[in-house]
Structure 1
Amino acid sequence: MRILVLGGDGYLGWPTALHLSQVGHDVAVADNFARRQYDFELGVESLVPIESLQTRVEAWKELTGKEIGVYVGDLCDHDFTLEMLRDFRPEAVVHFAEQRAAPYSMIDRKHAVYTQVNNVVGNLNLLYAIAEVDRDIHLVKLGTMGEYGTPNIDIEEGWLEVEHNGRTDRVLFPKRPGSFYHLSKVHDSHNIEFTCRIWGLRATDLNQGVVYGQQTPETALDDRLATRFDYDAVFGTVLNRFVIQSVLGQPLTVYGNGSQTRGIIDIRDTVKCIQLACENPADAGEFRVFNQMTESMSVKEIAETVARNYPGEVTIENLDNPRVELEGHYYNVKHTALMDLGLSPHLLSDTLITSLFDVAKRHAHRVKLPALQPKVNWRTHASPVQET
């Protein structure tokens, strides 16, 4: 199968491209390298050094004999997007190419507007390009569990059967996103569903939980194939931050009381989910939603798991929460579709956390301590949160 991975230089896009190539698909990647520019803007960098995309692709060919095509450009440029699809003629397009951080979108008006324009316009250009080039192309789009928020009912896989005044209908599950980034993903989902219904496109929307882990079997083959390890308060995941803080002897900084619960997933399962979605495409006209997560944990539980597994003393410190989010909320997510397709999940384990400690220790000299502290406040139009 010919698969085009958009955002193929990123944390998830790169290991996904390697995995798809390794299992026998003909893969190309596209990127505009915006994620690398965010590092320059914020004065941070991946804990694990990452090579240029060109070096990565060359290393992959050297090690495996497999080629990955490269397109450099921006989805907000419709001409580029259209010509890329015409040139590569993919059977599936995996869409990772969006600004992915909720805190980044909440810095100020400029970053909120940038996030929504970049994400929504890029996705809309892609939909138009697919409609023009080949409506049989299967769009596999990375969404987020954050689209749903934390409703006081079970979260279904994208759709909800509703009875109202004696009548029933199947509707998209109500959304209550928690940031301008998550809002952009909601807009994407609605635009994709609309084009499936009106133009007959086929799409799978993957509402993904928080991803943890830094290695897949493919990236572990050579240091040149490494993907990102973000730990800062803007782009880093909470597990990564806790691992770094443990290694450095810093308190684990839990926002609020830590009862906020989220879906989580191992990076090895993410790449497998993408493979399963591509190899089992949606029908023409179908907007299919999978909740891409394997378990749920509270922030407090994640902190306690890290502290329990670190071979040394670890303390936990509660900070005022810079985000606006419910604590002590109900959270029950249906996530059976990918299991039905054959996913055998990795659950958060002592072994994985130990391996992350090893990665953090190896590169601890690259940590910038101020980057661990939150500076973006949801409530005040980006007045900086005071460092503690």
Structure 2
Amino acid sequence: MRILILGGDGYLGWPTALHLSQRGHEVAVADNFARRAWDHELGAESLTPIRSLHERVAAWRNISGRTIGMFVGDLCDYAFLEALVRDFAPEAVVHFGEQRSAPYSMIDRRHAVFTQQNNITGTLNLLYALAEHAPDCHLVKLGTMGEYGTPNIDIEEGYITITHKGRTDTLPYPKQPGSFYHLSKVHDSHNIHFCCRVWGLRATDLNQGVVYGVDTPEIALDERLRTRFDYDAVFGTALNRFLVQAVAGEPLTVYGKGGQTRGFLDIRDTLACVELALLHPAERGEFRVFNQFTEQFDVAGLAAAVREAAQAFGIDAPIEHLPNPRVEREEHYYNAANTRLRDLGLQPHFLSDTLLESVLRVVMRYRDRIRPELFRPAVDWRRTQN
């Protein structure tokens, strides 16, 4: 299969490219390296050193004998994107190419506007390019479980059947996003759904939970293939932050009460989910939604799990509760469906399967790169400024 991966230099885009290339697909990646620029803007960096995309592509060719095509450009530049879709003629597009941080989108007006312009415009450009040059191409779009928010009812997979005043219909599940980033994902979903209905495109929206882990079978072959590991307060996940704080001898900082519950999955399961979606494509005109996670945890539970894992290494990791910089429910009902990918054959890995210990070993290997000043939250949801 000819597969184009947008955002192929990123945390998930690069491992996905390796995985699909190893599986024998013809893979190309496109990126504008904005994620690397945001590190410079914020004064942050990946805990794991990451080579340039050019070096990684060359290393993969030397190791595997397989070639990954590489294109440098911005999805908001329609001339670039149109030529890419026309000339590469993908059978499938995996779309990771967006600004992915909720805190980054909440820094100020400028970052909120950028996030929505970048994400929504890039996706809309892609939809037009596909409709014009690759109408049968299957779009696999990375969404987020954060589109749903934390409703007091079960979260279904994209759609919900309701009866209202004696009439019944199946409708898109209501969305309650918690940041300007999550709002951009909701707008993406609406635009893609619309284009499937009116243009007959085919798309799968992967509403992904929080991804953890840094090692995949391909990355394990050579350090030059390593993907990034973010732990700072803007782009890092709470779990990554806890792991690095433990190794650094710092308290594990839980925002608020720690009852915030989300879906999680191993990075290897992310790759498997993307591949399953590609191998079982949506029909023409179909917009389908898969909830992509394997387990649910609350933040306090994650901190306790990291503390316990750290003890096996002789590390004492106390837990500290901080005022929550986000506007969110800290105690809430959360029960989300996630059966469709399992029905396609997903065999999940679980956090309890020594994952924390293996990631802790990676963190310890690069402990000299830890910068504790990046731990503390710097973005307040309640603050508005230009």
- Whether these two folds match at TM > 0.5 is yes
2:30 and 2:215 map into 1 onto residues whose CA distance is 21
Correspondence list, 1:1-388, <5 A? 1-310=1-310, 311=313, 312-349=315-352, 351-381=354-384
Shift of residue 314 of structure 1? 1.3
The one-letter code sitting in structure 2 at the alignment partner of 1:45 is: E
Q: Is the 8 A contact 1:254 1:319 kept in 2?
A: yes
Shift of residue 270 of structure 1? 0.3
SS at match of 2:265: strand
The one-letter code sitting in structure 1 at the alignment partner of 2:340 is: A
Shift of residue 31 of structure 1? 0.2
SS at match of 1:29: strand
Unaligned runs of 5+ residues in structure 2 are: none
Shift of residue 13 of structure 1? 0.1
SS at match of 1:262: strand
The one-letter code sitting in structure 2 at the alignment partner of 1:164 is: H
Please tell me the root mean square deviation across aligned C-alpha atoms, in Å.
0.8
> How many residues are paired up?
383
SS at match of 2:194: helix
% identical aligned pairs? 66
Q: Deviations over 1:284-321 (max 9, x none)?
A: 00000000000100000000000011132110000000
Please identify, of 84-93 and 346-355, the stretch whose mean Cα deviation from structure 2 is larger: 346-355
1:313 and 1:374 map into 2 onto residues whose CA distance is 22
Q: Is the 8 A contact 1:232 1:372 kept in 2?
A: yes
After TM superposition, the score normalised by the length of structure 1 is 0.98
Q: Is the 8 A contact 1:106 1:382 kept in 2?
A: no
1:279 and 1:132 map into 2 onto residues whose CA distance is 23
2:13 and 2:385 map into 1 onto residues whose CA distance is 29
Q: Deviations over 1:114-135 (max 9, x none)?
A: 0000000000000000000021
After TM superposition, the score normalised by the length of structure 2 is 0.98
1:117 and 1:182 map into 2 onto residues whose CA distance is 13
Please identify, of 67-76 and 345-354, the stretch whose mean Cα deviation from structure 2 is larger: 345-354
Shift of residue 162 of structure 1? 1.1
The one-letter code sitting in structure 1 at the alignment partner of 2:120 is: V
Q: Is the 8 A contact 2:248 2:370 kept in 1?
A: no
Q: Deviations over 1:267-288 (max 9, x none)?
A: 0000111111111100000000
Shift of residue 367 of structure 1? 1.4
Q: Which structure 1 residue ranges, 4+ long, deviate > 6 Å from structure 2?
A: none
